[in-house]
Amino acid sequence: MKNRIALGVSMMMLLAMLAMPVSAADDNRNAVITTEVAPAYIVTIPTNMRVPFNQLKTDFGAVTLTKAQLEPNKCVKVTMQCDNLLDNKADAEKTIPYTIYECKADATGNVFTTASYLSAGEKTDLTIGITQDDWNKAYAGEYEDTVTFQIEYTDQ
């Protein structure tokens, strides 16, 4: 009887070993590591500016992409909006036309309307230009205009 029990236990152990899967070096498992970086950017625009009387070109600062973590094929687009007229505060019918250029005051550049930026540090220097003829035609008084910079995160 002892022999039968020993034989039965041996057979069950043998069957159990055959039923267990054997793992070897071919058993590869993967671990996926992920993260996410949200798009982020900082754009610096020119501050308030006082243009001296009879000054033909005045540095207006720069539009600068100060910080940028952008997705591939994306950019930060800056569009300037203004009517290019300094309005006399006492009489809005009296104006001084001006133009904003893509350059420093000591250079010549194109008229600025929009620019697209891809990486931190990119910038566009700006200059306010008023012709001598427009200064000569100006009425006395204080003048002002507001320049709006529209900033958007968009496709290239």
Q: How far apart are CA 142 and CA 96, in angstroms?
A: 11
| The pLDDT of residue 13 | 59
CATH number at 80 reads: 2.60.40
Q: Is residue 108 part of a domain?
A: yes
Task: Identify whether 10 is part of a domain.
Answer: no
Q: Is residue 3 part of a domain?
A: no
Task: Confirm whether 32 is domain-assigned.
Answer: no
Q: Alpha-carbon torsion 7, 11, 17, 20, what sign?
A: negative
pLDDT of residue 57: 97
* pLDDT, position 26: 77
> Phi then psi for 5, rounded to 5 degrees?
-65, -45
Within a domain: residue 63?
yes
Tens of pLDDT along the chain (156 residues) come to 555 665 555 655 555 555 555 555 678 899 999 999 999 999 999 999 999 999 999 999 999 999 999 999 999 999 999 999 999 999 999 999 999 999 999 999 999 999 999 999 999 999 999 999 999 999 999 999 999 999 999 999
Any domain includes 14? no
83 belongs to a structural domain: yes
Phi, psi at residue 73, to the nearest 5°?
65, 20
Model pLDDT, residue 156: 94
What residue numbers bound the domain in which 148 lies? 40-155
pLDDT tens by residue, 31-62: 999 999 999 999 999 999 999 999 999 999 99
Q: What is the pLDDT of residues 18-30, one digit of tens each?
A: 555 555 567 889 9
pTM of the model: 0.77
User: Looking at the domain assignment, is residue 28 inside a domain?
Assistant: no
pLDDT at 4: 61
Could you give the number of structural domains in the chain?
Answer: 1
